Amino acid sequence: MEDCIFCKIIKGEIPSKTVYEDDKIIVFMSIGPATDGHLLVVPKKHIVTIMDMDMDTLSHMVTIIKEKMYPLLKEKLGCEGLTIGQNNDLGQEVKHFHIHLIPRYQGDNADVKYDHTKVSPIEEVFAKLQ
């Protein structure tokens, strides 16, 4: 898709630090890393949110994360954990589906923090979800 930064990376029109690639997906370093080795796992097809992802590609992405990326990050960078994140629509800066792999290190302060002080009417919300 024109004007999509990740499509341009996939086509090789702009450079990226790619650590894995096959016919379906590409994995490259985030330009704004949360920790050392923050990677983005990206389908080669231009898809915006998880709602449009096909299960074959999604499951392939998870397989590569499990079998290749997390082992690579542990072996080469010595990370002690992996936080996985994925934004859809609101909060999604790049509108081309991607999964964040954030390697974790002791004292990295990269915990995903939510504001638990916000008061939410749990009973009311639960009722809406039925």
- What are 81's two structure tokens? 């954990």
Q: Tell which one of 10, 16, 39, 103 touches ligand 5GP (CB under 6 A).
A: 16
What is the Cα–Cα distance from 46 to 9, expressed in whole angstroms? 12
Residues 6 or more apart whose CB falls under 8 angstroms from that of 17 comprise 28, 29
Are the C-beta atoms of residues 35 and 110 closer than 8 Å to each other?
Answer: yes
Region near ligand 5GP per CB under 6 A, out of 47-55, 91-99, 104-112, 114-122: 91-99
Q: According to the binding rule CB under 6 A, does residue 53 interact with ligand 5GP?
A: no
Give the residue carrying structure tokens 């709602």.
51
Q: According to the binding rule CB under 6 A, does residue 83 interact with ligand 5GP?
A: no
46 binds, among ligand 5GP, Zn ion, none (CB under 5 to 8 A by kind): Zn ion
Which member of 38, 60, 96, 98 is catalytic? 98
Region near ligand 5GP per CB under 6 A, out of 54-62, 74-82, 90-98, 109-117: 90-98
Name the minimum Å distance from CB 3 to ligand 5GP: 12
Q: According to the binding rule CB under 6 A, does residue 5 interact with ligand 5GP?
A: yes
What is the Cα–Cα distance from 71 to 41, expressed in whole angstroms? 15
Read out DSSP for 26-48? EEEE-SS-SSTT-EEEEESS---
State the residues that interact with ligand 5GP by CB under 6 A. Answer: 5, 16, 28-32, 40, 87, 92-94
Q: Return the active site residues.
A: 98
